Every structure is written in structure tokens, then in C-alpha cells.
Structure 1
Amino acid sequence: MIARLVIHTIVWLAIMGAVLFAAAGTFAWPAAWLFLLEVGVLGIWAGVWLARYDPALLAERLSLFVQPAQSRWDKFFMSGAGISWLGWFVLIAIDAGRLHRAAMPLWLSVCGALAIFVCIVATREVFRANRYAAPVVKIQTERGHTVSDTGPYAYVRHPMYAAAILFLAGTPLMLGSWWALACVPLLVAGLGYRAVLEERTLMTGLEGYADYAARVRYRFVPHIW
């Protein structure tokens, strides 16, 4: 399982690196190297912990983003999200790596790196509280899927999406792209749209989720939404 984790991480780092450096037209981009290093090290750290704590969940996390049991709408969403993700990285690379239009202050870049760190640490806590946190929307009947309502799930219904907002904001800050940072509200809106559709699936297919949603009122941020 650890070997699969390492290979999976290397492949994703290679894809992100290829997109960033190709669009930037240079390898001389220290911020991009630091970004890949941070994401890679923290990703393997969280994965190794998960391999020991819940290897079945790690297997789910390493699975494809389009699966037979996945909700149909989520297959289209994930396909579109993948294309949007790559386009966003191209924008980051052109803006920060090729054109160098407006330098990001060092303190904001450091804040970006910190936001990515907090995101991955918080995601590990999500995995601790929810052993059914698959990357796709589906009812995991074969794994005895039940409602998770402890840990961060006691405060918001989608703590992983809340943590992802930190990653979305931290990435353009660390890499130095104001244009990509301006796109973050659209990406967050996409997460919100998926959260609403995901809840519809869980309401109809997962026993007890409607009661949980009634108890925990907020999706991403307490007292806001």
C-alpha cells in the first residue's frame, strides 16, 4: 500500500510539475519547486498515517476519480473539475512563472504555504473522523457506510471542503499569481455546488443523514454557510 501511495504521489507531482513548468516556459521557478516539495512531503506524511490508521480508506483515496458506483452527476462534475484544475494551473504558470506581472509579497507567499500546511493537517483529521471519505460521491454499502458526526463533522457537514478552501487560496499565494487568486471564489462556488448535490445523494441513500443535517446546520463555515 505504501508503494502504491508513493507512486500515486509521484505521478500527481509529475503532472502538476509538467503543467506548471511547461506553461511557465522555465524550470527556474523556485516557488513552484517549493510548492511541489511541500505538497509531496505532506501528502506522503498523511498517506503513511492513513495506511496505518485506516488502509481501506487509503485504498479509496487512491482510486480513480470516475468509478462505476459513483453518482452520475459527480462523474460529469469531476471530469469538468479536472479540466478546470489544469486550466487554473496553466493560468498560475503564465501569470507568475512566464509574465511576472505583479510580484507577490514574501509574507503572502509564506501565508500561502502555511494555508496549504493547515489544509493537509486538517484533512488528516477529517480522515480520522470519517472512514468513508472517498474522493467521489457514492453510498459505500459494501463498507457499511454510516453517518460521521464526530470531530470536525460535529461543527460543519463538509470539513474536507472547508479545508480545501485553504489549499485553493494558498496555492496562488505561494506561487505568486494574483489572477489565479481572483479565480478562487469561482472554485469555492464549485465546491459549494458539489456539496449541495452530494447532500441530496446522502439524504436519499444514507440512513440518518437527514437528521444529522438538521443537527449540524452549516456546510463549510459555522454561522456563515
Structure 2
Amino acid sequence: MNPVSRLQHFRQRGGDLVTAQFVLLGLVALSGRRSHSVDVMQKVAGCGLMVLGGVVVVGSGRTLGRNLSPLPEPLDTAELVTTGLYAHVRHPIYSGLLALGLGWGVLRGSAGALGWTVALAALFHFKSEREEKALLARFPGYAAYRERTRRFVPGVI
């Protein structure tokens, strides 16, 4: 496959969303410049959110195993995963990344990092909608799973 065909294939499978995701993650990280002094409680809260986010991302990735892909289109060999953290939320990796961004913004007292995290949340909403359309078409059990499981936060969102 030539480079132009590869790029077209990447874009057809949602690659533009993945590119935007990594740009926003970079902006969150680079916006972590302190805008004011941060007290101990803010540091503890920020670190706690970052640890929680990291654990959720790593744990969810391990649960997905060979099904893991940054693209919103499932792999040809994918199976529906509804165990582990996926028993509680449909997109725990996105939730974990948002907790990391929120924690970084709180830890650093950075309005910029918090703002980019909000933008990332909006992107994850749209990316997850595209992903869910593909999952509904691919897996007959996905509709029932979606009915009983929240998108990002157990019992909330």
C-alpha cells in the first residue's frame, strides 16, 4: 500500500480524531505552567487524580489486550470486552486520560491545562459516538451493554 493510500485508510478509520486526541494531550501537558501558587491540598488532589487516571488507563489497556487500538473503528479481529473496568464504563481509557488531564491542571494550578482537558472531553464524546456506531454494527450484544453501562463515569455520565 502506498503512503497516500495508507493515509486515506487511516483517515477513513478515524485517524483525524486520533491525531486531534494526541495534539490535545500534548497541549494539556505543555499547558501545565503554574498560573498561581498551589497549596498542599491542591497538590494532593492533583496527584490523586493523576494516579487514578494512570491506573485506569493501564488497567483498561490490559483488559482490552489485543483488542486495543487508538482508532474508533474496531480491529478486524476484535471481540467485545465487557469485563474489568468495562463492566462499569464503556470508555474507561478516555475516562482515565481525562482524570490525568484534570489532575495535571489541578496539580499545576493551570487554567490552560484544565481548558484543554475540557476540549479533550468534547473530542472524546464525539470519538466515542463514532466508535459506538461501529461497535453497534459489529457486535449484536453491544446495544444491551450500552443500555446498562455509562459512557465515562460509573452511575453518572
| Secondary structure at the counterpart of residue 70 of structure 2 | coil
Structure 1: tracts of 5 or more residues without a match: 1-65
How many residue pairs get aligned? The number is 151
What is the letter of the counterpart of residue 55 of structure 2?
V
- Correspondence for 2:149 among 207, 210, 217: 217
Name the CA shift for 1:91/1:126 in 2 (closer, same or farther; >3 Å). Answer: closer
Return 5+ residue gaps in structure 2 as ranges. 1-5
Q: Check the 8 A contact 2:60/2:85 in 1, yes or no.
A: yes
Q: Distance in 2 between matches of 1:145 and 1:196?
A: 18
Deviation at 1:128, TM superposition (A): 3.7
Q: In the alignment, which residue of structure 2 is the partner of 1:79?
A: 19
Give the corresponding residue for 1:110: 44
Q: Which residue of 2 aligns with 1:138?
A: 73
Query: What TM-score comes out, normalization by structure 1 length?
Result: 0.57
Structure 2 contact 18–70 (Cα < 8 Å) conserved: no
- Compute the displacement of 1:67 (Å): 7.5
Counterpart residue type for residue 168 of structure 1: G
Letter in 1 for 2:54: I
Higher relative contact order (CA 8 A, sep 6+): 2
1:123 is displaced (CA, Å) by 2.3
Offset of residue 149 of structure 1: 0.9
1:164-218 per-residue CA deviation (whole Å, 9 max, x = no partner) reads: 221010112223313322443232122112111111121123453233223x331
Q: Rg bigger for which structure?
A: 1
What's the TM-score once normalised by structure 2's chain length? 0.78
The percent of aligned pairs where both chains have the same amino acid is 21
Measure the CA separation in 2 of the matches of 1:125 and 1:88.
22
- Give the Cα–Cα distance (whole angstroms) in 1 for the partners of residues 99 and 123 of structure 2: 15
**In 2, Cα distance between equivalents of 1:112 and 1:67:** 38
- Is contact 1:114–1:170 with CA below 8 Å preserved after alignment? yes
8 Å Cα contact 2:13-2:72 kept in structure 1: no
Q: 1:198 to 1:67 in 2, by over 3 A?
A: farther
